[in-house]
């Protein structure tokens, strides 16, 4: 994940995951320029090897001035399917409220996710060079 997840100019110094039902994770990104950090943490609730992963996700605003709610988790589901040699990843985020969703989107989260998934695709396609500090 460190090789592809995150936005340009950010490092991922914390990427701890115990991928099993009931296992936990903690991710943290740190801005190279100003040192500000934020992250996510949660618990895996469903793990189907190779095809589905569901986890609760709590936001840790760290040093950032974000207004996202931190009380109720976002439920994140990832599904992988393969057809004719092409793998498709579907990621669904279910927020506790419309306000929580709007606040998450207002942080620029969608741009970061788009950047991350483009990098993941590039990595699988053999385009570019990747390291944990990219």
pLDDT of residue 87: 87
pLDDT of residue 7: 77
**Helices 109-125, 98-106: inter-axial angle, 10-degree rounding:** 70
pLDDT of residue 106: 82
pLDDT of residue 92: 96
- Domains, the chain, in order of start with CATH, read 43-119 (3.30.530.20)
pLDDT of residue 134: 45
pTM, entire model = 0.80
Point out the residues of the chain with pLDDT beneath 50: 133-134
Edge to edge, what strands does the sheet with 24-31 contain? 10-17, 24-31, 37-48, 52-60, 74-83, 86-94
pLDDT, tens only, 82-106: 999 888 989 999 999 998 888 888 8
């Amino acid at each position: 994940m460190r090789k592809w997840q995150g936005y340009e100019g950010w490092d991922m110094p914390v990427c701890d995951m115990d991928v099993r039902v009931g296992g936990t994770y903690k991710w943290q990104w740190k801005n190279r320029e100003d040192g500000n950090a934020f992250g996510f943490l949660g618990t895996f609730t469903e793990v189907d090897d190779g095809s589905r992963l569901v986890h609760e996700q709590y936001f840790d605003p760290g040093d950032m001035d974000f207004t996202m709610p931190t009380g109720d988790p976002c439920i994140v589901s990832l599904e992988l399917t393969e057809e004719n040699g092409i793998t498709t990843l579907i990621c669904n985020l279910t927020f506790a409220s419309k306000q929580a969703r709007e606040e998450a989107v207002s942080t620029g989260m969608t741009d970061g996710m788009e950047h991350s998934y483009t990098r993941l695709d590039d990595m699988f396609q053999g385009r570019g060079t990747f390291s944990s500090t990219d």
